[in-house]
């Protein structure tokens, strides 16, 4: 549920409250990422760091991303919170 422009203030607090109340719905994990000034590559790098998933740099970026999403999906339902 994107929250940009939904509120002028309080989006982070709303996301924190949602995670606190509904976190049990995401057995695969909840990943909180500071997305201010972040690139897709930085976000993926943070996800890899949080999850401990290893990627083979010899493969194309597309193949690495596909493999990452499949590995994450195998863990169960997940939630990414991109803050800022």
pTM across the whole model: 0.72
| Interval 16-75: pLDDT, tens | 999 999 999 999 999 888 888 788 888 888 888 888 888 888 988 888 889 888 999 999
Q: What is the mean pLDDT of residues 75-84?
A: 90
Nearest to 57 by CA among 39, 38, 44: 44
- Return the DSSP state at 52: T
Confidence grade of residue 1 (pLDDT, cut at 50, 70, 90): low
Put residue 2 in one of left, alpha, beta given phi > 0 → left and psi -120 to 50 → alpha.
Answer: beta
């Amino acid at each position: 549920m994107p929250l940009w422009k939904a509120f002028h203030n309080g989006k982070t607090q709303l996301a924190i409250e949602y995670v606190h109340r509904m976190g049990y719905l995401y057995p695969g994990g909840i990943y909180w990422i500071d997305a201010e000034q972040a690139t897709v590559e930085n976000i993926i790098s943070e996800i890899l760091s949080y999850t401990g998933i290893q990627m083979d740099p010899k493969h194309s970026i597309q193949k690495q991303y596909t493999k990452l999403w499949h590995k994450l999906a195998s863990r169960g339902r997940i939630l990414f919170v991109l803050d800022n």
